[in-house]
Structure 1
Amino acid sequence: MTTEPTTAEGARGRVTELIRDARICLLTTIAVDGRLVSRPMGLQAAEFDRDLWFFAYADSAKVRQIRVNPQVNVGFSDQRHHAWVSVAGTAQEGWDRARAEGLWNPLLKTWFPDGLDTPGITLIKVHAGSAEYWDSPGGTVVNLLGFAKAAVNHEVSTDW
């Protein structure tokens, strides 16, 4: 069982660990008509310095939605460790070749076949305003009870 950090620095460290372990998330944006829209995304940088980075196409619906309303949520689930993270923040889209080179992973060629020279490729940066996480102890048998207990007793909300 993971104990609750007692400092904001400890909480940020735990959020970083949980994000690093999960790596895949749901990015939720707000559509023009006000609907919440979520889609799976792969996080590109494992260090969490309040910014999360993603590759995308500049003409994608998510990027258009971010341009209209930059408020987003990024949710991570690590089933192996029974942990969940929710990051609320502000997103922006823009191309930075040097940053992209530092974030690039060869597995991304599946979605961007010409690598960093793929026409229309861009970056999405989510700057975190707040984060919450839940650590749930136990295995699958106590998962539901463990989650409920964690939500009541082990939730840490860190507003920066």
Structure 2
Amino acid sequence: MTTHDDQLGTVAEIMKDTDIAVLTYVSLQGALVSTPMGTQDFDEPGTTWFITERDTDKVRSIEADPRVNVAYSSKAGWVSLSGTARVSHDRRKLEELWDASAGAFMSGGPDDPSNVLLEVDGATAEYWESPGKVKAAIQLAKGLVGDDQPDLGDNDTVIL
């Protein structure tokens, strides 16, 4: 039987192995908007940090409606993290998380007031654990030629 800690470990592994996540938020016009974001850090799967510029439609939209989803995809599987986001002006945390990739995409540095953090507090994480490329290909082929449902890995939702 899979424990809650096992599930959190699977979610964390997938998130750590993902270089670029996809953040989805509700625009000021009510549309869903998705944008690639580099995950800077997560304390645990329930709290994720991104660096962004303050003066953007994304930040204005999240301040008006903090509901977000962050999608992760790696060789280990996929995670759909649902929760809320808030803008953080924590300069100490921004300095801690600032790296070369942030400097490549952002003007200024961690002391620049136009650079802020998005802190995502996850409520749930749905995950699909990948069985690996070879097994997935075999299972897919079995599903295409036979009557059996392919086994493409485990899927579950974790309350964070």
Q: TM-score range by the shorter chain?
A: 0.7 to 0.9
Shift of 1:143: 7.8
2:37 to 21, 41, 46: 41
Asked if 1:130 is matched to 2:124, the reply is: yes
Runs of 4+ off more than 4 Å: none
Distance in 1 of aligned mates of 2:128 and 2:138: 12
Question: Match for residue 104 of structure 2?
Answer: 110
Change (3 A) 1:16 1:82: closer
What is the CA distance between 1:95 and its match in structure 2?
Answer: 0.7
In structure 1, distance between residues paired with 2:58 and 2:138: 33
Q: Is the 8 A contact 1:82 1:143 kept in 2?
A: no
The structure with the largest alpha-carbon Rg is 2
* Deviations, residues 18-74 of structure 1 (Å, cap 9, x unaligned): 100013100000012221100000000154251100011111111111011100000
TM-score of the aligned structures, taking structure 1 as reference length? 0.85
- Identity across matched positions, percent: 35
Assess, with a 3 A threshold, how the Cα gap between structure 1 residues 111 and 138 changes in structure 2: closer, same or farther: closer
**What value does the CA root-mean-square deviation take over the aligned residues?**
2.1
The separation in 1 between residues aligned to 2:94 and 2:122, in whole angstroms, is: 20
Match of 1:74 among 70, 74, 86: 70
Instruction: Note if contact 1:23-1:46 (Cα within 8 Å) is conserved in structure 2.
Output: no
TM-score (norm 2): 0.85
Shift of 1:117: 2.5
Moved more, 60-69 or 108-117: 108-117
* 1:58 partner amino acid: R
Q: What amino acid does structure 2 have at the position aligned with 1:157?
A: T
For structure 1, list consecutive stretches of 5 or more residues without a partner in the other structure: none
Match of 2:147 in 1: none
Cα separation, 2, equivalents of 1:92 and 1:83: 27
Which structure 2 residue ranges, 5 or more long, are not aligned?
142-149
Quick one: structure 1 residues 144 and 41, their matched pair in 2 at CA, closer, same or farther if it must change by over 3 Å? farther
**Residue 82 to residue 50, structure 1, CA distance change in 2 (3 Å):** closer
**C-alpha distance in structure 1 between counterparts of 2:66 and 2:139, whole Å:** 33
Question: How many residue pairs align between the two structures?
Answer: 151
